[in-house]
Every structure is written in C-alpha cells, then in structure tokens.
Structure 1
C-alpha cells in the first residue's frame, strides 16, 4: 500500500447523513453542524460557498466541495444573499434568530428545499458525522474548503450515481448511499492530489523524491516491521545520515516519528471494529503488545485505546438515534 492509498482507505461512512437540497433564488443556508467533513456535489444550477474566513467560491454543475469542520460555512445563490436558514447539529433547521424553521418544504425521500422550479439549484449533501469515520491524517491534509470542478474525462460519475440513489427507498439503501459517498470523496481527493498546483501535504509531495518516496512506500507497505533508520536507509540504498536529513527536510518529520504517527492513525481506524482485539490491533500496526500500544496511544492522543473505542461506539449509537 502506498501513502496515498493508505490515506484514501480511511473514509468509511456509517449511516451517513445524506440528502438532496433543492433551492430556488433567492436562497442562503448557513451550516453550523460542526460535522468533521462535509461533501457537497452540485447536480444542477450554481451555488456559492462562503467560508467563515477567505473568499467566496463558485460551484458549477458536476463540481464537488469539501468542507472540513467544525468551522461554519454558507451556501447561497449569490454571496450577497442574506442567510435564511441555519443548520445546527441534529440536524435542525433554524431561522437566523434561532427559531425552528417550519416552512421548509418536504420534497420527497431525503429531499428538502424551498421550491421545485425547473431552474432550481440541486445539491447533494453528505456528512461524515464522527471523527472516527475519517482519519485525523486525512483531515489534517485538507484545507478548510476545497472546491473541485467537474472532471469531463472521468469514467466513473459518482455525482450522477449519488443523484440517482439518494431519492430511492429500497432495502439496503443506506449502505448503498454510504458507499457512494465514500466513492465521491475518494475520487474527489484523488483528483485534488493529482493537481500540480495543489496544496498537498509535505509527505505527498515527497513521494516524487527518488529516496524519500521509496522510503515512504516501504513504511506504508510494511508498517509492522521493526524499522530503524539504518534498516530503512539500507532498503533505499543511501546512508543513514542522508536518509534522516532528506526525509526530515521534505516530510517535516524524522522517519521513525512519521512511522509512529502513521501506526497510531492506523490503530485508531482499526479500533472502530469491535470484533478486533486491541492485542491484534497492536500486532498489526507494529507494537509488541496491547500494553505498548496503549502507552503510545495515550501519550499522543490523551486517551487509551479502550476509551477511544468506547467513545466511537457511543457516538455511533447516538448518531443512529438522531432524528
């Protein structure tokens, strides 16, 4: 597994909040739900994204926007349209003054809006509601707001697939929608990382380096190996000092420090699976025992693996019970 594959393997929607929003001008919706990651695809019309800080961005049909929480943001027909609806955790739709919004029209399965004219803007909205559904490493790699235009040569059209499925009511529908949301996110991220001008993290840019790129591939292909800087340098054919200096310069971390972070990120994801023991997780990510993993996990994240697993389970159950 290469570094990018490892990153993209993380997103796993579980009962994700997914809906279709149909809005007729003038409209403006401010989102304050604090979701760790929101994915919005534009199926029809145009929309402006107004972040809490920074310039407004225009989203065109087929385009996708990713918003990293918990900062609020606004979608509107124009940047100057006053906010009409505020989305709070739950999700709950409110007026700007804080009253529950009653005049929003229910337009069918997973669909709401203010009208259904032919020229309305149609948005597909997906929410990763818990931090455990997307890795900390992925969230750290993303800017607060990322806008990607439609890719005309993409063989798979996840926006079209999601638009077709979101209005269906069939057995297993939530699982299908979860996987389509993951597909939309992963294909969007892959397109962003492939852009030459992207503000990708240092470790991704370092993949093109003939020395550090090979070292990163070794670490990601076999994270459980008892790596030392000397062993890694031998694998890539340079001296220990050369690898340590070059790796730190390009990645921003020493090799073993980077590996430790990657192991803990992997462990955090694996701990979401209740049937996998902590001992098994420890061995899979390169720790000699559950105790060794627990010590490192608590030192870096402030909680034990057991507490991390319990916190994820509690949030997962709460999300399932939300209206």
Structure 2
C-alpha cells in the first residue's frame, strides 16, 4: 500500500495541540464497557472546545457480544440510546465494520468508513478533522486503506495498547485487530497514541464519587450512575478505570495529558512493542492527570 508522504516537519506541525474549536468524530465500541458512555457524554458536553460531527460504531467481541458484527450493532444501538437521553439526536450515527481486517491492508467497507472518508476529504491540513477512536481501530484503518489521501487531512487520537515500557501491549482495543493497529502505526497518519496501562489507567473513580457528582445530573447522569453501579457486584473498596475519557481529555485540555514526540513503535504478532528511532514521529501521551479530568467532567454534568 502506498500512502501519501507527509514531511516530518508537516507532521510535527499537525501534532501540535491546536487552539480554538476542533472538529471531531468519535469511533466507539459503546456497548463494550461503561467507559465509552462516559466518553461520549464528555465529548458532547465539551462544546466550548469540540464540535462532534458524527459517531461510528466500532466492532468488538467479548462476553457482551456473539462476535464483532453483533458488538458493532449493539454499540450502534447504545449510541442512539445515549443521544436520545441527551436530546442530541441531531448528531448522526453510522454503522461500522462487521468484522476485523481479514489481512494486512485489506479494508472492511462500511457506512462509517465511507462517511469518514467524505468528512476527511472536505477538511484540510490547516483545519484537520480529529478522529478520536476508543475501540478497535478497524473503521479508521479501513477508511485509510480505502482512500489513503485522507491521512493528509486528519489527526487520529487513539486509545490503544499499553505504555511503551510495558512488558506487552495485549490491550483489548489493539489486540482485537492487529492488522488495523499496524495501519495506524505504519501509514504515517498524524497519530496521538494514548496508552491504557501506564497512562489512562490513572482515571479511576468509585461509586461514591459517581453518586455524589453524577447521579443527580439529569437523565444522562442517572444513566451513567446506573451503568457504573451495575458494572460490579460489590463496590466496597472498589474503583473502576474510565479509560476512554483520556482520549477526549487530550483534545479538551492537553495540559492534563502530558505528551512527547516519539518514533512510531513497531508492533509484533505477539503484541509487543519494539522501537526504531528512524521511523516517523507520533505524539505519545506519557501521563494522564486524574483529578482535573474528572473535575471537568463533573462540572459539565451539573
């Protein structure tokens, strides 16, 4: 696959945090876990900074789905449910991939991938579309493989893998579709990588905190409280990571997600990182500050 060549100078420029309002789309396996719901709400409640243009349902396969197609459909339905609860049904939701990439550089067409291409082509390097992904990266990788020119007009912010120093990167979003993950790492698309363990893992909260600051925040607050309460049978001395907030938080205020430029890592078949300093640069979030992110979310729910 031949991808457009983006000079390192231009890539670094695109990876600099941008001031003002940002156009974004959110690719999410919303039914997979409770953190996606929080991220969807956080993005929509951050209208001072983010213009959410569309949602794409991402595939997933675990105990909550019979396969990636079923997981994607359930995520699609969950997105509609959240938007209805928030009276935000004007934001479109698109079906995503019904399976993972069947092989290297083989896309899976979907209405979500096609819509992403359309939005990206109507953007520009000066006003890029921010593509935030908090699930398996199949939809985004498929769009890039279907039309590689879009990498010139987008910045991908992906919650995927673990920290580069972690013993392995066997993380749910990444490991489900290693072919798609490699497209992100190898294509040269401007990429902000938000690791799970070692970074987003700081975003823990408790039922007591959710009851104090979320439960009474209208219909959507009650729904987030219900999903959190039902996620575990015993909340005594129990905390839960709301991983996906990290990707939204990077765009809302990058000071709370300190990052550096590093060479794009190489991903092995065994889901391990290796480094080659000659590869193109990506932005890598090395830390996530828990308190200001939850404080911002809670204030926006009041």
With the length of structure 1 as denominator, give the TM-score of the two structures: 0.24
Which structure has the greater CA radius of gyration?
Answer: 1
| TM-score after normalising by structure 2 | 0.25
